[in-house]
């Protein structure tokens, strides 16, 4: 008999789970052990050990029922969380099976927002403070797109999905968005791209003219991110729009015929209650969105929530919100398709993407399951390079702020060179 001892991945001792790096290590472990012939698994009752083993079990060919049983008997995971874990893992495996070695995803970051939300710690600039940076930012970004497209062609890679996030991309004017997407589509070969997604974000940045630009350039998926439909909550988080504005925006998007529309909600926001969250979710289900992402509030160190000590719902109230979301979404025909956790989440809960059948946001699966490389362009992002055969992941980080991004072209060149070198080495 041969015994193999494996230490858990990097732990998050506060929540007896894994850090973000630890989850990546657990996924790489699953890749490396896939060829091993293992008869039995024995796992410590500690959460960090259980989380480390979860991906390996699926890669070893365990059936969903077997995995669920192991999660319950060995990991002591609740039935509802076992179900979420198994269902989202299966979606990840299905997405993985459809990928080719040359497939990558492309991300473009627009680090501008109308205002900064209370929960946000992303590197983004409010338009009122940085309007003068937007044009020079786009000029540099277009140059980076040109260079990145050449590198992708020469490396023999294929864009599988495209995602523009931020910030709030629709902070750009219709003219600016048209200029950017025209240059993007002319530079990259997007013939193999199966998903073209733009974060439309806040309703106070969305107009018919902007949405028409997105449609004209091939966008088949937008994300409208109200976070809440309670006016008191919107005021508490620093939004300058109302719930009615969200309703009007969703009606506009529906009238224009976008194939897929996502709505983001956050459980646990300041001034929210379980009853308010229920009203928000119930209302969202009337808008016709085929994707609804239910996030749990993450208490980011740089957010106003922590800096100003804003009161937030208790962990018990957040649990009530999530416990309402799961059966309600299932009853409406939605299924979970991706799941992830972050540090400092209220109640140590999770973020879950829900969709109706056939409406999965593939980019979300690719990046969370780390199935292939994500080439990131623009300020504030990070490029993730994935070698699924060797089980290797490498990252390069981009200039954080728009000003820094504009003033450091050498950093852009270094990141593209690193991406090229990584993928050329994969072929050896």
* 427 assigned to some structural domain: no
Domain shared by 302 and 212, yes or no: yes
Reported as a pLDDT band with limits 50, 70 and 90, residue 400 is confident
* Residue 16, pLDDT score: 66
Q: What is the mean predicted confidence (pLDDT) over 183-211?
A: 96
Domain shared by 251 and 217, yes or no: yes
* Residue 413, pLDDT score: 97
Domain shared by 200 and 235, yes or no: yes
Domain shared by 210 and 260, yes or no: yes
pLDDT digit string, tens, across residues 123-161: 555 555 677 899 999 999 999 999 999 999 999 999 999
Q: What is the mean predicted confidence (pLDDT) over 275-299?
A: 96
Residue 269 has pLDDT above 60, yes or no: yes
Percent of the chain whose predicted confidence (pLDDT) is above 70: 94
* 390 assigned to some structural domain: no
Range(s) of the domain holding residue 240:
103-374
> Which of 48-57, 181-190, 412-421 is predicted least confidently?
48-57
pLDDT digit string, tens, across residues 225-248: 999 999 999 999 999 899 999 999
* 308 assigned to some structural domain: yes
3-state helix/strand/coil string of the chain? CCCCCCCCCCEECCCCEECHHHHHHHHHHHHHCCCCCCCCCCCCCCHHHHHHHHHHHHHCCCCHHHHHHHHHHCCCCCHHHHHHHHHHHHHHHHHHHCCCCCEEEEEEEECEECCCCCCCCCCCEEHHHHHHHHHHHHHHHHHHHHHHHHHHHHHCCEEEEEEEEECCHHHCCHHHHHHHHHHHHHHCCCCCCCEEEEEEECHHHCCHHHHHHHHHCCCCEEEEEEECCCHHHHHHCCCCCCHHHHHHHHHHHHHHCCCEEEEEEEECCCCCCHHHHHHHHHHHCCCCCCEEEEEECECCCCCHHHHCCCCCCCHHHHHHHHHHHHHHHHHCCCEEEEEECCCCEHHHCCEEEEECCCCCCHHHHHHHHCCCCEEEECCCCEEEEEECCCCEEEEEECCCCHHHHHHCHHHHHHHHHHHHHHHHHHCC
Domain shared by 50 and 136, yes or no: no
Domain shared by 66 and 150, yes or no: no
* Residue 123, pLDDT score: 54
* Residue 10, pLDDT score: 87
Residue 47 has pLDDT above 80, yes or no: no
pLDDT digit string, tens, across residues 347-367: 889 999 999 999 999 999 999
* 399 assigned to some structural domain: no
Give the domain CATH number at 181: 3.80.30.20
Q: What is the mean predicted confidence (pLDDT) over 256-275?
A: 96
* 93 assigned to some structural domain: no
| Between 312 and 53, residue with greater pLDDT | 312
* 159 assigned to some structural domain: yes
Domain shared by 205 and 349, yes or no: yes
Domain shared by 251 and 349, yes or no: yes
Domain shared by 112 and 220, yes or no: yes
| Between 140 and 67, residue with greater pLDDT | 140
Domain shared by 72 and 161, yes or no: no
* 314 assigned to some structural domain: yes
* 411 assigned to some structural domain: no
Domain shared by 165 and 226, yes or no: yes
Residue 14 has pLDDT above 70, yes or no: no
Total structural domains within the chain: 2
> Which of 46-50, 222-226, 392-396 is predicted least confidently?
46-50
* Residue 77, pLDDT score: 79
pLDDT digit string, tens, across residues 69-89: 777 777 777 888 888 988 998
Residue 163 has pLDDT above 70, yes or no: yes
Across the chain, mean pLDDT equals 90
Domain shared by 123 and 168, yes or no: yes
């Amino acid at each position: 008999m041969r015994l193999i001892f494996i230490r858990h991945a990097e732990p998050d001792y506060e929540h007896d789970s894994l850090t973000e790096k630890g989850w990546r290590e657990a996924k790489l472990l699953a890749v490396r052990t896939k060829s091993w012939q293992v008869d039995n698994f024995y796992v410590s009752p500690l959460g960090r050990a259980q989380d480390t083993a979860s991906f390996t079990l699926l890669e070893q060919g365990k059936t969903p029922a077997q995995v669920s049983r192991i999660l319950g008997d060995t990991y002591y995971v609740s039935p509802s969380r076992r179900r979420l874990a198994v269902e989202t893992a299966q979606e990840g495996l299905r997405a993985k099976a459809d990928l080719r070695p040359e497939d990558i995803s492309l991300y473009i970051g627009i680090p501008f927002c109308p205002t900064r939300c209370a929960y946000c710690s992303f590197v983004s600039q409010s338009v009122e403070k940085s309007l003068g940076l937007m044009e020079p930012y786009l000029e540099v970004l277009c140059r980076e797109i040109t260079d990145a497209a050449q590198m992708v062609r020469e490396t023999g890679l294929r864009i599988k999905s495209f995602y523009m996030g931020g910030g709030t991309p629709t902070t750009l004017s219709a003219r600016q968005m048209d200029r950017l997407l025209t240059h993007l589509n002319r530079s990259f070969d997007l013939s193999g791209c199966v998903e073209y997604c733009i974060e439309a974000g806040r309703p106070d940045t969305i107009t018919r003219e902007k949405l028409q630009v997105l449609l004209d350039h091939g966008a088949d998926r937008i994300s409208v991110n109200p976070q809440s439909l309670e006016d008191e909550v919107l005021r508490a988080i620093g939004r300058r729009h109302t719930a009615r504005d969200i309703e009007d925006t969703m009606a506009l998007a529906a009238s224009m015929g976008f194939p897929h529309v996502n709505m983001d909600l956050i459980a646990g926001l300041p001034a929210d209650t379980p009853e308010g969250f229920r009203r928000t979710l119930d209302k969202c289900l009337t808008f016709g969105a085929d994707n609804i992402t239910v996030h749990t509030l993450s208490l980011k160190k740089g957010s106003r929530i922590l800096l100003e000590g804003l009161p937030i719902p208790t962990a018990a109230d957040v649990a009530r919100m999530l416990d309402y979301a799961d059966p309600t979404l299932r009853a409406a025909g939605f299924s979970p398709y991706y799941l992830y956790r972050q540090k400092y989440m209220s109640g140590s809960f999770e973020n879950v993407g829900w969709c109706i059948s056939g409406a999965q946001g593939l980019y979300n699966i690719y990046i969370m399951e780390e199935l292939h490389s994500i080439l990131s362009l623009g300020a504030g992002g990070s490029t993730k390079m994935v070698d699924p055969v060797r089980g290797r992941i490498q990252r390069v980080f981009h200039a954080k702020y728009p000003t820094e991004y504009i003033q450091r072209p050498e950093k852009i060149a270094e990141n593209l060179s690193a991406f090229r070198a990584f993928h050329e080495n994969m072929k050896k």
